[in-house]
């Protein structure tokens, strides 16, 4: 994955996204985790799994990390959506090797 060193949970998030593996993606998140994307919030693994399916798996997103600093991953995302590839910012909060909070925004 380029020459960017990522913390294990972020590396796992990118790898599972690129493998289109909803089970591995869900496993990255803590039980009460929160995801903020597209102006909406998903909380808990059940809601996050719905977000994963609709926002990462169905459009077959592939992430290419371009930088990582201060818990913020910038990555190019491509897939079956209009206007791709687009750059996104992923801000992770990690505790005990699980993602507890993720906020995604266009760059």
Q: Give the gyration radius of the chain's Cα atoms.
A: 12
Residues 6+ apart with CB under 8 A from 34: 41, 42, 43, 100, 101, 102
Residue 3, in any domain of the structure: no
In a structure prediction context, what are the per-residue pLDDT tens digits for the chain, which is 107 residues long?
A: 457 899 999 999 999 999 999 999 999 999 999 999 999 999 999 999 999 999 999 999 999 999 999 999 999 999 887 777 889 999 999 999 999 999 999 98
Residue 59, in any domain of the structure: yes
Residue 53, in any domain of the structure: yes
Residue 1, in any domain of the structure: no
Residue-range definition of the domain harbouring residue 36: 8-106
Residue 80, in any domain of the structure: yes
- Confidence (pLDDT) at 66: 94
* Start-to-end Cα distance in the chain: 20
Domain of residue 86, CATH code: 3.10.450.50
- Confidence (pLDDT) at 65: 95
Residue 2, in any domain of the structure: no
The verdict on pTM exceeding 0.85 is yes
- Confidence (pLDDT) at 3: 77
Counting the structural domains of the chain, the total is 1
- Confidence (pLDDT) at 9: 96
């Amino acid at each position: 994955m380029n020459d960017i060193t990522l913390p294990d949970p972020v590396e796992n998030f990118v790898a599972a996204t690129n493998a289109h593996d909803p089970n591995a993606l869900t496993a990255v998140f803590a039980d009460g985790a929160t995801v903020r994307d597209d102006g909406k919030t998903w909380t808990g693994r059940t809601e996050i799994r719905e977000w994963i399916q609709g926002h990462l798996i169905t459009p077959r997103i592939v992430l290419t990390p371009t930088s990582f600093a201060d818990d913020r991953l910038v990555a190019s995302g491509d897939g079956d959506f209009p206007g791709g590839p687009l750059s996104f910012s992923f801000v992770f909060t990690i505790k005990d090797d699980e993602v507890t909070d993720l906020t995604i925004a266009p760059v």
